[in-house]
Amino acid sequence: MGDWKIGDDRRRRSTDQLRAFAEANDGQVAWDTEAPADFTYLFHPDRVLVRAADVEAFESTVARLGDRVLSGELRRDDVSLLDDELVRYVLPERREGQSVPEVLDLLEEGGLRRGAASPDHWVHVSPGGGGGTTCPAIEPQETGLTEPWPPQAPQPEGQEVSVVVVDTGWHPPAATDPRTPWLAGVEGDDELNGPDLRPYAGHGTFIAGVVRCLAPLTRVFVEGFAVGGLGGGGVLESDLVVQLEEALAHDPQVINLSAGCRTRLDLPSIALETFHRTRLSRRDCVLVAAAGNDSWAAPFWPAAFDWCVGVGSLDRDGRVSEFSNFGVSADVYALGRNVVNAFPDGTFVCHESPDKGDVRVFGTGLARWSGTSFAAPVVAGLIAREISATGASSADARDAVLARAVHDSDPMVGPLRELRQPYA
């Protein structure tokens, strides 16, 4: 019996997502379990990431133990990542087909410090492990509404604020579409939409729209990491930090990243930690990230970092959405269920259970979508609005916005508020 026939819709949906993602990235996707529905994290089957400070220890351990598992020479990739603060290696063929995590297990048993080396994980806007999902909790849905929700905020007095949305790309017609006037002036990497919409088409545009509705005085740029449908909506950690570095060229005060991943042994992402240490921590800029949609408390990176604002999802009645992650990855919760904003016109064929094969036709310039993907830009927009209105630094604006959140000892219940914080 095929794995897709086993279990409930969530399990089937997770399998659908992973199979589609693996097909879009042929030969570059591996996972940590036998059954696709049970995976915890995704990684490149041959790459290893190492911090510059750990290179000597890593190479010496491979030289001492590598013959037990590797059938050739370790190769250091010639790509420069964060001025060589992050080093990428390519493993040769393994003698018994061991995976990258299994090779790292051997090296750590042989004395390499745990966490010195890591798989090159896939960061994605959708697939998650354990039968769950990650950032969109559902595929986009048609809506009869003609206005966004959350609605457009009144134009505040204040300064213009720079926000970069690092995502799947931008739909340029939305900037001049009379149905979405709040997106006028937004720019970004064209995701090259046609009449037949790909999975995750419009994801970055939708998120840019949420930011603009909350903070009209923003200069928004959408930095695309999977434009033209490349990568199936995902990006490797080592490539994501390049995109984040490019995002900094726009001098953002806020970055929104509605994507993330689990990692081997739930260790912090080496690539994202190095980006923060060498780049982000030296600037007046705040990173806001989605907490993920797997309904669990395991760390989801980068949302789980203490330097990142991780955002979980609320339903419209103020309850934490059943799909939302919680715990270390969710510093705060905001509306993420049935959000309405800009979306390309076209025909979309659902790819995931239980709606697989359903045809949805979008022709109003808007869609309805749910997930922590869409809660994150609510918080990013509120932080940008605070900077605009008060002239505060990004860090001070972040702290002010979070301080206004309503604390709750049980985040699963309570009245609708703008923001909620758990476990006061």
- Pairing, β 117-124 against β 234-236: antiparallel
Are 377 and 334 a contacting pair, CB within 8 Å? no
How many whole angstroms separate alpha carbon 92 and alpha carbon 46?
Answer: 7
Domain boundaries along the sequence of the chain: 3-119, 161-422
User: What is 161-422's CATH number?
Assistant: 3.40.50.200
HEC string for the chain: CCHHHCCCHHHHHHHHHHHHHHHHCCCCCEECCCCHHHCCCEEEEEEEEEEHHHHHHHHHHHHHHHHHCECCCCEECCCCECCCCEEEEECCCECCCCCHHHHHHHHHHCCCCCCCEEEEEEEECCECCCCCECCCCCCCECCCCCCCECCCCCCCCCCCEEEEEEECCECHHHHCCCCCHHHCCCEECECCCCCEECCCCCHHHHHHHHHHHHCCCEEEEEEECCHHHHHHHEEEHHHHHHHHHHHHCCCCCEEEECCEECCHHHCCCHHHHHHHHHCHHHCCCEEEEECCECCCCCCCECCCCCCCEEEEEECCCCCECCCCCCHHHCCEEEECCCEEEECCCEEEECCCCCCCCCEEEECCCEEEECCHHHHHHHHHHHHHHHHHHHCCCHHHHHHHHHHCCEEECCCCCCCCCCCEEECC
* 370 φ, ψ (degrees, to nearest 5): -130, 145
Chain segment 80-136, per-residue pLDDT in tens = 999 999 999 999 999 999 999 999 999 999 999 999 999 999 998 754 444 334 456
The pLDDT assigned to 13 comes to 74
Can you give the pLDDT at residue 237? 96
pLDDT at 228: 57
Block residue for tokens 């076209």: 346
pLDDT at residue number 230: 58
pLDDT computed for residue 267 by the predictor: 98
Which pLDDT score is estimated for 406? 84
Q: What is the pLDDT of residue 128?
A: 44
pLDDT at 34: 84
pLDDT per residue over 38-54, tens digit each? 889 999 999 999 999 99
Report the DSSP beta bridge partners of residue 76.
89
pLDDT at position 49: 98
Backbone angles phi, psi at 305, to 5 degrees: -65, 145
Dump pLDDT digits (tens) for 392-417: 999 999 999 999 998 765 444 333 34
Task: Pick the closest to residue 42 from 143, 123, 134 (CA basis).
Answer: 123
pTM of the predicted model as reported, rounded to 2 decimal places: 0.92
| Residue 318: count of CB within 10 angstroms of its CB | 18
User: From the CA atom positions of the chain, what is the Rg in Å?
Assistant: 21
Provide block-wise average pLDDT over 10 residues at a time, the chain (424 residues): 57 78 85 85 97 98 94 94 97 96 97 97 67 62 96 91 96 98 97 93 97 97 77 86 96 97 97 98 97 93 97 92 94 96 97 88 97 96 97 98 79 46 40
Q: Chain-centre distance of CA 144, in angstroms?
A: 28
Paired tokens of 376: 């994150």
What pLDDT score does 355 carry? 87
